[in-house]
Amino acid sequence: MRKQIAAANWKMNLSFQEASQLLDNILQSGITPAAHQLFLFAVPFPYLEMAKQKLNRIGYEAAAQNCHHKIKGAYTGEVSAIMLQSLGIRYCIVGHSERREYQREDNAMLAEKVNVCLNHSVIPVFCCGEPLAVREQGGEKDYVKQQLEESLFHLSEDEIRKIIIAYEPVWAIGTGKTATSAQAQDMHRCIRLLISERFGNHIASDIPILYGGSVKASNAAELFHCEDVDGGLVGGASLIADEFVEIMKALK
Residues acting as catalytic residues: 96, 168
Backbone angles phi and psi of 3, in degrees to 5: -60, 130
Helices (H) and strands (E) in the chain, counts: 12, 8
User: Cα–Cα distances in Å, from 215 out to 57, 113, 131, 151, 203?
Assistant: 25, 26, 17, 25, 27
User: Cα–Cα distances in Å, from 70 out to 57, 82, 173?
Assistant: 31, 10, 28
Within a 10 A sphere around the Cβ of 182, how many other Cβ atoms? 9
Three-state DSSP at 84 gives helix
Backbone angles phi and psi of 245, in degrees to 5: -60, -40
Three-state DSSP at 145 gives helix
Three-state DSSP at 186 gives helix
Q: What is the dihedral of CA 26, 32, 34, 40, to 10 degrees?
A: 30
